[in-house]
A and B are shown apart, each in its own frame.
Chain A
């Protein structure tokens, strides 16, 4: 009796280790797919971007050009419009003082129109408020807010947050009448962490005394960088003589200039980006905060945050589904226990699924068609009987 029970329990234990092994092997397969040797091991599956220009009025043209430049780069590297929240506090392109209406340029000589005709601004004008920004980050929104204005991230999303405007010691000015503090952003990021709304966050900010804005973060997996340290201003880069105002900020200009050398297949890392910071050119001291960031900076790819690069594995095409007579065989195959044979598993399962699916489809259509024909001919038969009977009667 005792012996039997111990043997039984040992057997169960042994079988359960099998289950663990199967489990672990499945997890390994998934992890291997998403974080295999060619990637940086970040474990993200999708990319999002929140680009905020917080200042309005014509003389802050460069802030809008900053945000639009980042928007263009991020789109070029693969993040779709549905995954970008672009907040522009003012409309520079259609401003009545814009000599080139419908366009926003970021360089002297106006060589590249950042506005174009294919941009999607999600929050515009007076919608860019501190409250809306925090609602976007935390996801606490009225049910009536449309999907395009929501940050629909999950715990496998890498989020790039870029903010630009006028700022100071631990604050950023929104719309000339309110401000957001570093504590607010830190708390928002903590909410995101608690709600599992990000995998990793890359926070970039281009304002005066920008580095103070990321000093209060306390959630894990956040990499932050800013344009100038405490007590320093951030300066604009150049003016365009025909537009009449400054068209880009120096820090953003040099970052964007570096990003022009990046494309979707690039393996440049964040460390490479930070190495290009030149204090003399930018006229301020950009900073990096990486203590909350678990991975080493020289293995975090730029495309982990700036681009929407996805992992693709090309599997061999499945064999064509057999005719419906083999339906019983395929059903029994599906019910049989699936052995844990690595690469045979996916195509076989696919094949069986396709077989069942095809047989289910073909079963409805010819049956229904013949039933319809039967009904039509049946009514013709009734009609013919009536006509024949009447014809024979007199």
Chain B
């Protein structure tokens, strides 16, 4: 029989020293929440990579994305995406933006639209915006909005809607890169999850600049997933300029540039076994530092000095502004004695950083998932969060459908989120508008919100690890060494 086989397939390899399982045309078992079913006929063009030579670089394994299964998916997206964007534009034209503009849950001291407008006005009238205490945006905003971008009126509404639309497009591309398809039936769902998420579209209606940060984060992940190193590093450098805390995503981003975004959660392997060359990270880091320096130069030139550094980047580290927001820092530091303040500022900042190493080590085989988890950590523990930071984390769950069966308590998490989503605005209103509540009400609701974010994080980490063990079987259990 083997002889028959070789007679019929003269090209087949005689001796097999190894087979890259990733290149074999396995048809994945359709999971209930995933629709990507690639019929074997569409894979006829590629052949499995069977080689008798030493291992090649993992990047060569990334074959070109396959053609989509049907036209329906593209058609659906072609309708859904514009309609969502138009719906958002229509919302912008109502009075809702004016209502939510100054809500501190939707925009923080670093991202507030009113502060941005004030900074642009001061800049245009010759006053240094960083000499006061209200303008904490990056000088790049100054240069962009004082020259080419519109900062008021319909122009700004279109700009913010465009920003969210680009973010949704980037998320869809990340999804497609992870699945290695040109389009899938799930694209519409991913787009809708991003554009219809209230945690994302409410800050966008309030014209908070955290929308730009989300879009840049998604862009850097998208470029890294597509293998475009410079674009990923440049958009990440821009993001770090706008929000210093995002630097924690650097490590998984670099790992993503080394590897690829495809889902390997079910088959964890050490990074070494992919044959990646860690030395190739050094030029990436060098390029990143170059971009950061160039942007620092641009920022310093537009702001005419170095005062912007303590006002923008320093704000995340020294917490000068204690306006209430949805985060955990403000209340803690309102009741902090002055002599403990530096110590606890250090503790809170280091707290963000300590998650990088464990998550990147544990999920070294799937850096996109590591980035996703660190985005969740940022959203929960950042210094000046808005609703859009945990919102990005929640929307990004949409691109990891493989973990859904492995969630332990999704309903509890969802209910906690519902709880927080109802109580936080209520207590905020009770405290600040009506005056019948006090800060403790609102603080308690932010604690519930942090609890719900933490529950979601813990569940995602659990599911991401559990998927490697596989479905439960009777009779035996798999233990991890």
Using CB atoms and an 8 Å cutoff, list the residues of chain A in contact with chain B: 365, 368-369, 372-373, 375-380, 382-383, 386-387, 389-391, 393-394
Contact = CB atoms under 8 A, between A and B. Distances in A.
Q: Is the interface of B mostly helix, strand, loop or mixed?
A: helix
B344 to A, nearest CB: 36
B295 interface: yes
Contact of A376 (B126, B142, B294): B142
Contact of A375 (B144, B229, B294, B304): B304
> Could you say which of A368, A372, A379, A393 has the most chain B C-beta atoms within 10 Å of its C-beta?
A379
A377 B126 contact: no
A384 to B, nearest CB: 10
Contacts of B295: 382-383, 386
Nearest to A385: B294
Contacts of B140: 379, 383
A80 B193 CA distance: 72
A393 B230 contact: yes
A383 B142 CA distance: 13
B148 A378 contact: no
Nearest to B142: A376
B302 A376 contact: yes
A376 B140 CA distance: 9
A81 to B, nearest CB: 37
A379 B291 contact: no
Given A376-B142, A379-B299, 8 more contacts: A376-B302, A382-B294, A382-B301, A383-B140, A383-B295, A386-B234, A387-B234, A394-B229
A104 to B, nearest CB: 44
A379 B230 contact: no
A387 B294 CA distance: 11
A378 B142 CA distance: 12
Contacts of B298: 378-379, 382-383
A372 B126 CA distance: 8
Contact of A383 (B143, B146, B228): B143
A380 B144 contact: yes
Interface in B262-306: 291, 294-295, 297-299, 301-302, 304
B229 to A, nearest CB: 7
B55 interface: no
Nearest to A393: B230
Contacts of B147: 373, 376-377, 380
B231 A391 contact: yes
A390 B304 contact: no
A394 B229 CA distance: 8
Q: Is the interface of A mostly helix, strand, loop or mixed?
A: helix
Given A376-B147, A376-B302, A377-B147, A394 B297 contact: no
B123 interface: yes
A380 to B, nearest CB: 5
A369 to B, nearest CB: 7
B294 A386 contact: yes
B230 A394 contact: yes
Nearest to B237: A386
B139 interface: yes
A364 B476 CA distance: 83
3 closest Cβ contacts across the A-B interface? A379-B298, A382-B298, A379-B302
B143 A376 contact: yes
21 contacts: A372-B123, A375-B143, A375-B304, A376-B123, A376-B142, A376-B143, A377-B147, A379-B299, A379-B301, A379-B302, A380-B143, A382-B295, A382-B298, A383-B140, A383-B144, A383-B295, A383-B298, A386-B291, A391-B231, A393-B230, A394-B231
Contacts of B234: 386-387, 390
B302 to A, nearest CB: 4
B126 A368 contact: yes
A394 B228 contact: yes
A382 B241 CA distance: 14
Interface in B397-431: none
A373 B123 CA distance: 10
B139 A379 contact: yes
A391 B143 CA distance: 21
B148 A380 contact: yes
A50 B140 CA distance: 63
B290 to A, nearest CB: 9
A159 B230 CA distance: 83
Contacts of B297: 382
A264 B229 CA distance: 86
Contact of B231 (A365, A368, A379, A390): A390
B257 to A, nearest CB: 12
A378 B126 contact: no
A367 to B, nearest CB: 11
Contacts of A387: 234
Contacts of B123: 372, 376
A380 B230 CA distance: 19
> Could you say which of B123, B230, B299 has the most chain A C-beta atoms within 10 Å of its C-beta?
B230
